[in-house]
Structure 1
Amino acid sequence: MNVAYPKSGYTTPDQTLDGFIQLVQAGFENPEGRRGTVRVVVDGYPHLGFRARFFDDLRVDRPQEYYEADTEIRFSLSTLELIFREFEVVDWRSPEVIGSTELKGDQSLAFLLAFSCLRPSDWTRERFAKVARKHKQKGYRDGVVIQRLETPSQYQLLEAMEESLPIIITGLEPTPPCDDWSLDRLEQEYGEAVVFMRSASDHVTMKRFVAELRNSGEGQVKGGSSLEFKSYTEGSRLPDEMAGNFGTMYFENEDFVPPQLWFGAVATDVPATPLHRDPLTGFLFQVIGRKRLDLYSADQAELLYPYKSYNTYQKCWFQPDKPDFDKYPEAKAATCTSVELHPGELLIQPAGWFHQVYALDSPTMSVSYFWRY
């Protein structure tokens, strides 16, 4: 059942905060057994703040005295209203949210709290269910062959998308070619473009971002979690200044939601993007370095332990790169199809396919577009 609250019933700041807490508590799950305390602060409304303590359930209260917290999240009231009002579509990476939010401490606790307030639209739920039925009917769980097609027609793309089959397009000739792109050129052409917002006070330009990459040894990162290394845009919105060189190559710009930039330094031995699925067909254009995608058909959802709280994309608790079959025993039966994406190639991934992404080279750069239909 889709969870929604009548807007007319939540018109005051106190009502909005209460509704937000209801969303978070109803959507909370903690199979990894995370423990910690999060302090939530609403600027200008000190009485609206609350404490969230992570156990097997989520316990929320409003202590009057000072308390220690592992994480602090500071929202403006307008941001909180946006999250509560648009929980079916809000993206925590968007400038409207991250650009007005201050975060201190353990980010993993903040993300767990943030995802708990999300809910899918009825359209998204039905889209996933429809794709799962198709994948089961066609036997995609047993594995598929991902074709490389050289400059196919738009009709061929639509055929593959109708069959819900991923394909890779080769032979593209972007202007300028991918071989011409480097850190130097990106810095020269887009030095003042804001490529990433880490918080309300930290807007990172291309010039600063490239400097960070160089300080990290041109992005040669190994070990640990790629999420802990901050020089990666993780799907932030592609700056408008870059759209001319990295625009869509099929269909019209209006057919896609705003593009995302995946650029920076990531560890090559852990996923740059963890296992998840999207309700829209994705177009992923590789610009710098290679990537590997591990794909799982939509009819394997019960094997991959997807989050119950999500909206525009659904993450999974099971992590194939470090499988814990004691916690997630059904995942032993999951089957994976892997594919490697090279600079100048375009992957079209129909809606509903679970996937995780490795950067085989660092630094890396990709641009993704989601087809609206």
Structure 2
Amino acid sequence: MATLWSKISAVLPHNEEQFPLQFSDKVESSVVEMLKQSRQQLYSNATSASRMLNAQIIMDFSWEKLNTGTWRHVDKEWRRVYSYGCLFKVAALCREEPSADQVLQAVRTCDMGLLMGAAIMDNILQVVVRILQGDVKKINKGDEESEHTEVKRIKIECHRVPAIKDDLAVPRIKCPSLESFNTNYLLPLKPVILEGIIEHWPALNQHPWSIEYLRSVAGCRTVPVEVGSRYTDEEWSQTLLTVNEFIDRYIINKDGGKGLGYLAQHQLFDQIPELKEDIRPPDYCCLGEGDEDDITVNAWFGPRGTVSPLHQDPQQNFLAQVVGSKYIRLYSPEDTDKLYPHQSQLLHNTSQVEVENPDTERFPEFAEAPYLECVLQPGDVLFIPVRHWHYVRSLELSFSVSFWWS
């Protein structure tokens, strides 16, 4: 059986001359020399300690560059340097017979490169992390049985499903034609729930998404997580956790009932192609101006009680429900003044009103704003027109996928 290093080295360039290291003059010559030294060590008999030291120096130096000023001002060249540092560190960790902990450390290093760096060498970190995942030992049978018990407990938790009045309900339609959807909903910007359009997704049938499936596909992967009851709260923060840590802390143990703990947005699908292969953009996205590469795909995975405050987005949105259910309320952009958006530039797209418990003295006109509402169930896809305000509350453990398109 091939060793882990033989599998990794097979996807690397065959020799030092074929290993690309081109950078602009924005990267100091001393850093380029360090990169070249790490490249040379990759194809020589250097010690693991010296390989690790050089790689860590490259990562630490570029990390400082990544964390100076705002993210949009970070030059892509330094993100590439960081990715190379991650690659060299993974090689140092895996060159000899790595322990299970070293393999997990290598997986985390790849994920940090994928999250914070930029693609290098045909996105080689994505290739390497797939090899590493295959080497991560499966959780033992006892853990699986324990986990199954925990999942059963989650599934039987009670949750209150709001009663939706007929005159306030978002309309539902089953598999409309492209022309019908375009004429009746897209052009007039009317919300609608589309039924039967994602039944073919592997996430709903071939291997239904669940806690067990997420653990098996991505348990050891490090991902961004949003922590707190809602993003407008003072205690809201962002952190990096493995998927297993996130599930244990915010799904199984509920972390003291803090609520919101979402795997954050499109990085999940960028990092873990196995999950992206389980879903498909709705056909109706072809009515937009761009192509499929212009669609932003977001993951929303969290426990019961998580809330997205009333807010609006600058693109059309298909919100597809895969696991669990959500209560959603929608307001037209025509009634923005009655929704009291925050005055700050950072939160100007978010209402100050707590939708299900409004302060009528501070926000007297809110009660006059007309709205539609619905409970989104697995297999439902809600069309949220551009700029439409929407409030979302998970009624149980929930996994949704949204597609933003123009």
Q: TM-score range by the shorter chain?
A: 0.5 to 0.7
Q: How many angstroms apart in 1 are the aligned matches of 2:315 and 2:353?
A: 22
Give the RMSD, CA atoms, in angstroms.
3.5
Q: Which residue in 2 is equivalent to 1:89? A: none
Amino acid at match of 2:244: K
* 1:186 pairs with 2:214: yes
Amino acid at match of 1:332: A
Number of matched residues? 235
Q: How many angstroms apart in 2 are the aligned matches of 1:175 and 1:370?
A: 18
Equivalent runs, 1:1-373 vs 2, <5 Å? 76-79=67-70, 82=73, 146-159=170-183, 160-171=185-196, 172-178=198-204, 180-197=208-225, 202-216=239-253, 228-229=258-259, 231-233=261-263, 235=265, 237-240=267-270, 241=273, 242-250=275-283, 251=285, 254=292, 256-267=294-305, 272-310=307-345, 314-361=349-396, 363-372=397-406
Indicate if the aligned counterparts of 2:310 and 2:390 stay in contact, CA closer than 8 A. Answer: yes
Q: Which residue in 2 is equivalent to 1:10? A: none
When residues 256 and 334 of structure 1 are mapped into structure 2, their CA distance, relative to the original with a 3 A threshold, is same
SS at match of 1:165: coil
Indicate if the aligned counterparts of 2:299 and 2:400 stay in contact, CA closer than 8 A. Answer: yes
When residues 290 and 188 of structure 1 are mapped into structure 2, their CA distance, relative to the original with a 3 A threshold, is same
Amino acid at match of 2:267: R
Unpaired runs of 5+ residues, structure 1, are 1-43, 45-74, 84-94, 101-142, 223-227
Amino acid at match of 1:146: V
Offset, 1:360: 1.4
Moved more, 349-358 or 309-318: 309-318
Deviations 1:311-331 (A, max 9, x none): 797101122222112211221
SS at match of 1:302: helix
Q: How many angstroms apart in 2 are the aligned matches of 1:274 and 1:215?
A: 24
Amino acid at match of 1:239: F
SS at match of 1:294: strand
Offset, 1:238: 3.3
When residues 246 and 206 of structure 1 are mapped into structure 2, their CA distance, relative to the original with a 3 A threshold, is farther
Indicate if the aligned counterparts of 2:342 and 2:348 stay in contact, CA closer than 8 A. Answer: no
Offset, 1:99: 6.2
When residues 202 and 340 of structure 1 are mapped into structure 2, their CA distance, relative to the original with a 3 A threshold, is closer
Indicate if the aligned counterparts of 1:99 and 1:198 stay in contact, CA closer than 8 A. Answer: no
Amino acid at match of 1:203: L
TM-score, normalised relative to structure 1: 0.55
Amino acid at match of 1:348: F
Q: How many angstroms apart in 1 are the aligned matches of 2:345 and 2:238?
A: 27
Amino acid at match of 1:209: F
Offset, 1:249: 2.5
Bigger helix share: 2
SS at match of 1:259: strand
Q: How many angstroms apart in 1 are the aligned matches of 2:368 and 2:360?
A: 10
Amino acid at match of 2:298: Q
Indicate if the aligned counterparts of 2:226 and 2:263 stay in contact, CA closer than 8 A. Answer: no
Q: How many angstroms apart in 2 are the aligned matches of 1:353 and 1:359?
A: 19
Offset, 1:230: 5.1
Amino acid at match of 2:243: M
Unpaired runs of 5+ residues, structure 2, are 1-60, 75-111, 118-166, 228-236
Offset, 1:149: 1.7
When residues 201 and 353 of structure 1 are mapped into structure 2, their CA distance, relative to the original with a 3 A threshold, is closer
Q: Percent identity?
A: 25
Indicate if the aligned counterparts of 2:168 and 2:372 stay in contact, CA closer than 8 A. Answer: yes
TM-score, normalised relative to structure 2: 0.51
SS at match of 1:178: coil
Offset, 1:292: 1.3
Deviations 1:45-91 (A, max 9, x none): xxxxxxxxxxxxxxxxxxxxxxxxxxxxxx922436639xxxxxxxx
Amino acid at match of 2:400: S
Offset, 1:261: 0.9
When residues 258 and 152 of structure 1 are mapped into structure 2, their CA distance, relative to the original with a 3 A threshold, is same
When residues 290 and 202 of structure 1 are mapped into structure 2, their CA distance, relative to the original with a 3 A threshold, is closer
Amino acid at match of 2:209: W
When residues 305 and 198 of structure 1 are mapped into structure 2, their CA distance, relative to the original with a 3 A threshold, is closer
Bigger strand share: 1
Indicate if the aligned counterparts of 2:320 and 2:380 stay in contact, CA closer than 8 A. Answer: yes
When residues 311 and 244 of structure 1 are mapped into structure 2, their CA distance, relative to the original with a 3 A threshold, is farther
When residues 82 and 312 of structure 1 are mapped into structure 2, their CA distance, relative to the original with a 3 A threshold, is farther
When residues 265 and 99 of structure 1 are mapped into structure 2, their CA distance, relative to the original with a 3 A threshold, is farther
Offset, 1:201: 10
When residues 370 and 190 of structure 1 are mapped into structure 2, their CA distance, relative to the original with a 3 A threshold, is same
Q: Please list every run of at least 4 consecutive aligned residues from structure 1 whose deviation after the TM superposition is greater than 6 angstroms.
A: none
